[in-house]
Chains A and B, each alone.
Chain A
Amino acid sequence: MSSGGNRTQTAVGASIYISPLDHVAGDVAGLLGNFLFDLLGMFYPRQICSKANVVVIELVTNVMEHCTIRDGAMRVDLKIDGDDLLITVANPVTPAEFETVKERFAAIANAEDPKKLLADTVHRRRGDRQKGGLGLMRLTAESKFRLTCEYEQGFLVVKALFPMRGFA
């Protein structure tokens, strides 16, 4: 095992593709999140690995709970290089579904205080235990990710970026 160099500058990439989604029968979000947590643990501090774990679990859980095109595919990409941690999760959606998701992302991106948005939403929705975006909100409020979404050839592509300069 090499002891030279700065491990927190190690470039790591992973790409996972599952199709059709309907065949998933277990906790795929947890499996992927924990796999990436363990893999990154070889190079990066626990706090960075935890961020990758949380974002993969929340975004993949969103896909598994809300994707209506169950004969389609899900793709999860991770890229980390010491400067940025970037997780991309893509799944098929209808144009109407994308518009709903886009509005939700805009509301989160435009929030002046993401933590207050999360707190207000949790307390407001607690009565009927509605979720509706809590996972995305926690990624910005708690894990400090920058979230974007795009529509590409019938796929919702969610990108979560954490700039790591000065962190790891």
Chain B
Amino acid sequence: MKVLTYGEIMDGGLSVFHSVAKLDDHHLILTFEGVIRVDNPYRYLHTYLEELAKVLPRQSITETTMDFVKMRFCNSNGFYVIMDIVDAVYNLVPGRVTVRRIADDDWQCETLPILLNLSEEHIAARTNFEDVKAP
């Protein structure tokens, strides 16, 4: 497993959110952990977005897993930055995308599909969900 890049949000001196892009052979794994509640998450994650745009096209990737199971909360301040991260995957990486999420979590079951832009047919066709129990 090779770490390609990662991004982190600090609040009050603590790490409150991090996302890591890892490569396992030809399998891209993007993890999302923690909470996004800060008023301007781009302040912390713009470098991560730039890195994703640089490193993802250079890899040989056949499938992707985006894992939201440990992302406990995202307030509306975080919607656009999540959209930008997942867009980087859909636009820069080919292949199937599996989205891991918590089965009975409102934000992951109702709002996350909107942020993934599943209303676009070509995105929906590449995407499937793996629903898991809350950790």
Contact = CB atoms under 8 A, between A and B. Distances in A.
Interface in B42-62: 42
Interface residues of B, number: 24
B123 interface: no
A131 B76 contact: yes
Given A61-B77, A131-B76, A27 B106 contact: no
A126 B80 contact: yes
Interface stretch (B23-31, B109-117, B124-132): B109-117
Interface in A47-76: 47, 50-51, 53-54, 57-58, 61, 65
A21 interface: no
20 contacts: A27-B12, A46-B104, A46-B134, A50-B105, A53-B73, A58-B76, A61-B75, A115-B110, A118-B111, A119-B119, A122-B79, A122-B115, A123-B117, A126-B80, A129-B42, A134-B76, A138-B76, A141-B110, A143-B106, A143-B110
Q: Is the interface of A mostly helix, strand, loop or mixed?
A: helix
B39 interface: yes
Which of B12, B76, B105, B114 has the largest count of A CB atoms less than 10 A from its CB? B76
B90 to A, nearest CB: 14
Given A54-B73, A123-B117, A129-B80, A29 B37 contact: yes
B51 to A, nearest CB: 20
Given A46-B104, A135-B75, A141-B111, 9 more contacts: A27-B11, A29-B75, A30-B37, A50-B105, A50-B107, A115-B110, A122-B79, A123-B117, A142-B107
B3 interface: no
Interface string A120-145: 00110010010100110010011110
A57 B73 CA distance: 10
A134 B79 contact: yes
Given A46-B104, A54-B106, A142 B111 contact: yes
Closest 7 CB pairs of A and B: A134-B76, A142-B110, A135-B76, A119-B114, A142-B111, A129-B80, A142-B106
Interface residues of A, number: 29
B4 interface: no
A5 interface: no
A135 B37 CA distance: 12
A50 to B, nearest CB: 6
Interface in B71-122: 73, 75-77, 79-80, 83, 104-107, 110-111, 114-115, 117, 119
A118 B114 contact: yes
